[in-house]
C-alpha cells in the first residue's frame, strides 16, 4: 500500500490518544499519541477486553484465562517470545546500542584473567551475607565516575519500583511525565503517595502544577526519563533543573536507562552530556542495555544511599546479582568510557535515518536519539509491517498496546553503533516498498 499523509484532524486525534478508525495500514506521517494512559500502563489489556465472570460453577477455572488469550489474538495483540534463530537478519530489536553484547566474545579472555574467582551466585541479599568485593568494586567505580555514591540493584524495574516506594514519606507528591516507564508507574501506585502525571515534555504545564501545589507538600519529586524508550526523544533537563532552583521543595529523579552508555563524553548519560549530574537527586542507570550486562544502579547523595539501603524493599528482599555479573559490568563500563567514537557514530546514524525518513518518505519522526519509531496506528498492520521487515533482512517487532496507546502502534527501530549508513539506506528503501 502506498505511503500517504494523514490529515491534520487525524493527527490531532492521535495526539490526544482518542479512539479512531483503523488506518488501513498507511503509515502515519505525523507523530501520533505515543504511550498509553494510566490504565493501559498498569494492565495487560483494557477492562473492556477482560473476560466476563464465569456463569456456570462447573466451568474450568482456567477458562477465563483462555478466553483472555483468545481476545488478545483477535485484536492482534497476543505476544510470544521470538524464536532464537534470526538467520542473517540485521538486529533492530535489542538495546545493545554500542554493540558490546554482539562483541562479547572478544572480552571474555580479559574477564577470565581479571576475575577468575567471580562466582555465579550471591546466594542471599546483600544485607544477609558478607560483602562481596565485586559488588563493592562496581559501586565504588560508579561512585568515582559520577563523583557521588552509587547503590547497586537487580534491574531497572527493581530500582524504580523499590526506590519510588521508599521515597514516599508522608508529605510527598510525585509529578511524573506521562510517558515514563511502566516500572515507574508501578512504583507510584505501590507507594500509596499522591501523584500526578504531566503532559509529555511540557515544562510549562509542569511549572503550573508545581505553582499550584507546592505549598501543600513537604517535597515534590519530579520524575522523567532522559531518553524515552518508545519515542526516542529527550527530556528537557535544563528546564527541570530550573524548576528545582525556583522551588526548594522540588527533588529531581532521572531514569537514564536508555542514555547510560549512549550519551555524554564518558557515556554516563544525558545529565553528564549537559553537565547536570549534581542537579539531580537520584539518577537511575541500567546495565542490561548499552552496558551489555544485567542489573541497575542509583546514583545519589550519601544520606539518600543510606536511606534507600534501609528502606528500598526490592534491594532488601532480593538475592543480589551474582559477583560474576558485577565483575562483567565493571569490565563493560570500562569499555564504555572509551567508546565516545561509537556514541558519536550512533548519533550520526540517528540523524541520518530521521532525515531520510522525512526526505524520501515524507515521514516525520519524534526521535532525536538512537530509538526511532515508525508510527503505523493499527495492531494488525504493525504485525504485517514487522513481517515485511523480516523478509527484507531486518529484525524489528511490532509494538502494540498496552506498551503504547491504541492508535499509535508502531515498529520501534533500535539503532546500534555497528550499523552503517548503508544499512540505514537499505532500511529506508525497504520501508518505502511496503504495500
Counting as low any pLDDT under 50, the low residues of the chain are 1-48
Cβ pair 365, 352 in contact under 8 A: no
Nearest to 367 by CA among 379, 380, 350, 383: 350
pLDDT of residue 430: 95
The helix (run of H) or strand (run of E) holding residue 283 is strand 282-286
pLDDT of residue 421: 97
pLDDT of residue 435: 57
- Delineate the domains of the chain, giving CATH numbers in brackets: 8-38+77-98+340-432 (3.90.1150.10), 117-336 (3.40.640.10)
Mark 41-77 as b/e (b = at least 16 C-beta within 10 Å). beeebeeeeeeeeeeeeeeeeeeeeeeeeebbeebbb
> What is the DSSP-derived secondary structure letter of residue 28?
P
pLDDT of residue 76: 80
Q: Which residue bears the cell 559490568?
A: 329
Is residue 175 helix, strand or coil? Answer: strand
Nearest to 330 by CA among 122, 114, 147: 114
DSSP for 190-225? HHT-EEEEEPTT-HHHHHHHHHHHGGG-SEEEEEEE
pLDDT of residue 51: 55
The phi-psi region of residue 261 (left if phi > 0; otherwise alpha if psi is between -120 and 50; otherwise beta) is left
Amino acid at each position: 500500500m502506498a505511503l500517504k499523509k494523514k490529515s491534520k484532524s487525524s493527527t490531532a486525534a492521535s495526539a490526544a490518544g482518542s479512539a479512531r478508525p483503523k488506518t488501513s495500514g498507511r503509515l502515519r506521517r505525523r507523530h501520533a499519541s505515543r504511550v498509553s494512559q494510566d490504565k493501559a500502563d498498569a494492565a495487560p489489556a483494557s477492562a473492556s477486553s477482560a473476560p466476563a465472570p464465569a456463569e456456570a460453577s462447573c466451568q474450568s477455572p482456567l477458562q477465563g484465562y483462555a478466553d483472555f488469550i483468545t481476545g488478545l489474538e483477535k485484536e492482534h495483540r497476543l505476544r510470544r517470545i521470538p524464536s532464537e534463530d534470526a538467520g542473517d537478519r540485521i538486529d533492530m530489536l535489542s538495546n545493545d546500542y554500542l554493540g558490546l553484547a554482539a562483541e562479547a566474545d572478544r572480552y571474555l579472555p580479559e574477564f577470565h584473567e581479571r576475575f577468575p574467582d567471580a562466582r555465579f551466585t550471591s546466594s542471599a541479599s546483600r544485607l544477609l551475607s558478607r560483602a562481596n568485593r565485586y559488588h563493592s568494586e562496581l559501586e565504588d567505580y560508579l561512585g568515582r565516575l559520577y563523583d557521588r555514591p552509587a547503590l547497586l540493584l537487580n534491574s531497572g524495574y527493581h530500582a524504580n519500583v523499590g526506590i519510588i516506594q521508599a521515597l514516599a514519606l508522608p508529605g510527598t507528591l510525585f509529578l511524573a511525565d506521562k510517558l515514563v516507564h511502566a516500572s515507574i508507574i508501578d512504583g507510584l501506585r505501590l507507594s500509596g503517595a499522591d501523584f500526578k502525571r504531566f503532559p509529555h515534555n511540557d515544562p510549562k504545564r509542569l511549572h503550573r502544577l508545581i505553582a499550584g501545589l507546592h505549598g501543600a507538600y513537604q517535597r515534590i519529586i519530579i520524575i522523567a526519563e532522559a531518553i524515552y524508550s518508545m519515542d526516542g526523544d529527550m527530556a528537557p533537563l535544563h528546564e527541570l533543573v530550573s524548576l528545582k532552583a525556583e522551588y526548594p521543595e522540588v527533588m529531581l529523579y532521572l531514569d537514564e536507562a536508555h542514555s547510560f552508555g549512549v550519551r555524554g563524553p564518558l557515556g554516563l548519560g544525558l545529565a553528564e552530556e549537559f553537565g547536570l549530574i549534581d542537579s539531580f537527586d537520584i539518577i537511575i542507570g541500567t546495565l542490561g542495555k548499552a552496558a551489555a550486562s544485567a542489573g541497575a544502579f542509583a546514583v545519589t547523595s550519601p544520606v539518600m544511599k543510606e536511606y534507600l539501603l534501609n528502606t528500598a524493599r526490592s534491594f532488601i528482599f532480593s538475592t543480589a546479582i551474582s559477583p560474576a555479573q558485577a565483575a562483567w559490568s565493571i569490565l563493560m563500563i570500562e569499555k564504555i568510557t572509551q567508546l565516545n567514537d561509537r556514541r558519536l557514530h550512533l548519533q550520526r546514524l540517528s540523524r541520518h535515518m530521521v532525515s531520510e525518513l522525512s526526505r524520501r518518505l515524507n515521514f516525520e519522526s519524534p526521535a532525536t536519539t538512537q530509538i526511532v519509531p515508525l508510527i503505523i496506528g493499527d495492531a494488525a498492520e504493525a504485525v504485517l509491517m514487522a513481517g515485511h521487515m523480516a523478509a527484507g533482512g531486518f529484525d524489528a517487532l511490532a509494538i502494540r498496546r498496552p506498551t503504547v496507546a491504541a492508535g499509535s502502534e508502531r515498529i520501534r527501530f533500535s539503532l546500534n553503533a555497528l550499523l552503517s549508513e548503508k544499512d540505514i539506506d537499505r532500511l529506508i528503501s525497504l520501508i518505502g516498498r511496503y504495500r
